[in-house]
A and B are shown apart, each in its own frame.
Chain A
Amino acid sequence: MKKYIIQSIRLTLVLLVLLCVVYPVTVAFIGKMSNGNGGGEKITKNGKTVGYALLGQSFSKPQYFWGRPSAVAYNAAGSAGSNKGPSNPDYLKEVQSRIDTLLKYNPGIKKSDIPADMVTASGSGLDPNISEQGAAIQIQRVAKARNIDEKKVKELIAMNTLKPFMGVFGPSSVNVLKLNLALDEL
């Protein structure tokens, strides 16, 4: 028994060095060559960081495309979903009020145009994307608020749409932050 205890202690110490120092430090070192130097890819505008490419941001002004509802208000110091069950009455009320808000600020759209992702909170609370349909229902509002042609907005959406992986796998999505940055640059 005593032999096993001593072997366990020594083996644990050796493995701590291998698994917790050698392995992660090597990965971190090589990772410095990646976009964002292994600290997350940043997006800068006029030399200032305005966000991370992978993290969604809160948008509520009419001239910006809005992202999905978030359970953590896009605060990236944490992350969480709403964890609301599908039949929860309070949750369904909340969804109803999101529908009402979208209908109010996007005149001209029908309820049946609204895709599910625009009225449901994401899993992380930091989802950077919306569906193409989620962007489509906001075109009119954004174009009007910015006083630009809807066609131009549509073009920008197309430019910021990520097609399915290798063209055949998974859904397509629109990166809201990149789209809004492109709008600001017009």
Chain B
Amino acid sequence: MNIELTGIIATFLLTLVIAIPLGKYLAKVFAGEKVWTDFLKPLETGIYKLSGINIKEQMNWKQQLKALLTINILWLFYGFFVLIFQDKLPFNPDGNPGMTPDLAFNTIISFVANCNLQHYSGESGVSYLTQQYVLMFLQFVSAATGIAAAVVLFKAFRDKTTTELGNFWEFFVKSITRLLLPLSFVMALILTFNGTPASYEGKDQFISLQGDTVHVSRGPAAQMIAIKHLGTNGGGYFGANSAHPFENPSYFTNMVELIAQVIIPIAMVIAFGYFIRRKKLAWTIFGVMTIGLFMLLIPMLSSELGGNPALAKMGISQTTGAMEGKEVRFGPAASAYWATVTTIISTGSVNSMHDSTMPMSGTWQLLGMMINSFYGGCGVGLLNYFIYLIVAVFISGLMVGRTPEFLGHKVEAREIKIAAIITLLSPFLILAGTAIASYIFTSHGDAAWAVQPKNWLNNPGFHGFSEMLYEMTSSNANNGSGFEGLGDNNIFWNLSTGIVIFLGRFLPIIGPVAIAGLLGAKKFIPESAGTLKTDTKTFALMTFAVILVLNALSYFPALALGPLAEYFTMLK
């Protein structure tokens, strides 16, 4: 048991060793200072030239968002049609069919939004062309979109008063050339040399030792698995995601994938502090996020290592912990650590099946996604946290009776309204979505869809409700993991989660960028004795309280109906 804990401690420490210098490096990259990767400049210049982009052109926050949304909408159209017609396009050695329009709608939104909820299975639902030219492509560019949006926010607070927030295309392209692509390249090779397929060969076939004929799905997986983690995307090449022995061959690769998905979200926090020259603020934010990680991780470890009480009652040895849906080579500790980071960060890749984890683990997974800003996804994690910060500034301001200020800019009604709308959006989408799904399940069980609503759930009772709650929460958080027992490839889930993903992605990008743009343009007020300092322990505690109170109030009733009810039933 102890040997498993040393594994996750080592993984976390290695993550910090890589992420912190990476953050300092990113601050320099986006500030245009000298870095050792400057030899890539000609590549970037070439990209700008071919694309007709002049990076000297400064954009204000509205122009930034226009550029961001334009290119994202373009990807939606491009990907939708390729997915539908993939059967008629080349690079389809396994002869997989084209997607139905509702599945393509869901899949394309899901990948453009960095969510990677998958209602298809990689082996049978997509061709090699779509795996690479649509899905893997979007894993790069959606992560870069999130990072670029966060850099716009950085820009707003670097100088005292400014409306010139840099050039969106420059941030976007640099996120790829200076960060995502080089790291992916190294990681893809590590995976390939540890057993993950990387070639374009189609399905193989062999006769097993006992004489069964076995077909083996293969393909260029390593390339996609690298970016799926680095970009906090999570969409796997194979159906079982990183539980699949090809996607994640050993304990070593498991550590690599765990580290890869956490480094950029942490690095972005550090980069924020270094970029705006307020390092202490970055460390305060990092502290709150890390405490959040451990508060979810420790109870999850305890419930998974403790094993399934129902199996213990049957007399089965639980010394190895809960093993349903887990792989022997990782064990329950590394699986619990993975389940924690993949839900607090919006990766959503899995190395064990969350549907089969213990009820309390399910609670922590859901809560991690509901909060969605303990590190959070590439770039967007910090944007989500920024909203909590603004709310905390506002509430603190009310408590001490002063006009709330953030980094020398007055926070006024307009900014608070935006923050309030974004804060309320998540509970609205998650709870209304789950409510509608529950209503259809109970009242329209016979609807003639690909999967009849009465057959949606793989598990009865409270756990079944958790499956629906998880799906909506994962969609809103742009996480993409699932309680995969849910029969989700039908028109209801494809459309509803598609809409939730879309709103849950773009409004929480537009909101914080708008607030930052508005604040950055305001007059700078120098710090005085009366200023509310946002980099103190007191304020960190305040932010933490805001996060807990907002989420507890919003979601406790839903959690009580699902995983908590299941937990208490199992205690009997």
Contacts and interface: CB of A to CB of B under 8 A. Distances in A.
Given A39-B197, A126-B240, A128-B245, A85 B329 contact: no
B4 A171 contact: yes
Nearest to A117: B323
A156 interface: no
B316 A60 contact: no
Contacts of B52: 6-7, 10
Given A31-B198, A76-B215, A114-B317, A83 B132 contact: no
B140 interface: yes
A8 interface: yes
A60 to B, nearest CB: 7
A88 B325 CA distance: 14
Interface of B: 3-4, 6-7, 10, 47, 50-53, 66-67, 70-71, 74-75, 78, 121, 123-124, 132-133, 136-137, 140-141, 169, 173, 176, 181, 184-185, 188-189, 192-193, 195, 197-201, 203-204, 206-210, 212, 214-218, 220, 222-223, 238-240, 243-246, 249-252, 254-255, 307-308, 310-311, 314-331, 333-334, 350-353, 355-359, 458-461, 463, 466, 483-485, 566, 569-570
Nearest to B134: A20
Contacts of A104: none
A90 to B, nearest CB: 8
Contact of B329 (A11, A18, A173): A173
Contacts of B323: 115-117, 120, 122
A135 to B, nearest CB: 11
Residue in A10, A35, A116, A122 with the greatest tally of chain B CB atoms within 10 Å: A116
Given A28-B220, A116-B316, A86 B251 contact: no
19 contacts: A4-B67, A10-B52, A14-B50, A27-B185, A30-B192, A31-B198, A34-B195, A40-B218, A74-B212, A80-B484, A81-B324, A81-B352, A84-B459, A86-B463, A117-B326, A125-B240, A130-B328, A169-B255, A171-B4
Contact of A58 (B208, B350, B459, B461): B208
Given A4-B66, A123-B350, A170-B334, A57 B238 contact: no
Nearest to B10: A169
B7 A123 contact: no
Given A78-B123, A84-B325, A89-B460, 10 more contacts: A15-B140, A27-B188, A74-B208, A85-B485, A91-B459, A116-B311, A116-B324, A120-B322, A122-B326, A171-B328
A49 B206 contact: yes
Contacts of A55: 216, 245-246
A92 interface: yes
B458 A180 contact: no
A39 B570 contact: no
A147 to B, nearest CB: 19
A27 B320 contact: no
A116 B203 CA distance: 33
A184 B209 CA distance: 9
A39 B356 contact: no
A186 interface: no
A40 B195 contact: yes
A121 B3 CA distance: 23
A19 B53 contact: no
Nearest to A116: B323
A79 B123 CA distance: 8
B384 to A, nearest CB: 26
B133 A51 contact: no
Contact of A83 (B188, B317, B458): B458
Nearest to A73: B212
A34 B316 contact: no
Given A8-B74, A81-B355, A129 B327 contact: yes
Q: For A11, A89, A131, which residue has the most chain B Cβ atoms within 10 angstroms?
A: A11
Contacts of A14: 47, 50-51
Given A126-B245, A127-B327, A165-B252, A10 B50 contact: yes
Given A12-B78, A77-B215, A38 B192 contact: yes
A81 B4 contact: no
Nearest to B173: A11
Most chain B C-beta atoms within 10 Å of own C-beta, residue among A34, A53, A180: A34
B255 A40 contact: no
A85 B459 contact: yes
A19 B355 contact: no
Contacts of B458: 83-85
Q: Which of A79, A170, A181 has the most CB of B within 10 A?
A: A170
Nearest to A171: B331
A86 B570 contact: yes
Interface in A65-83: 68, 74-83
A78 B215 CA distance: 9
A76 B216 contact: yes
Contacts of A15: 47, 137, 140-141, 176
Contacts of B223: 23-24, 27-28
Contacts of A169: 3, 6-7, 10, 251, 255
A123 B240 contact: yes
B121 A8 contact: no
Contacts of B350: 123
A144 B559 CA distance: 52
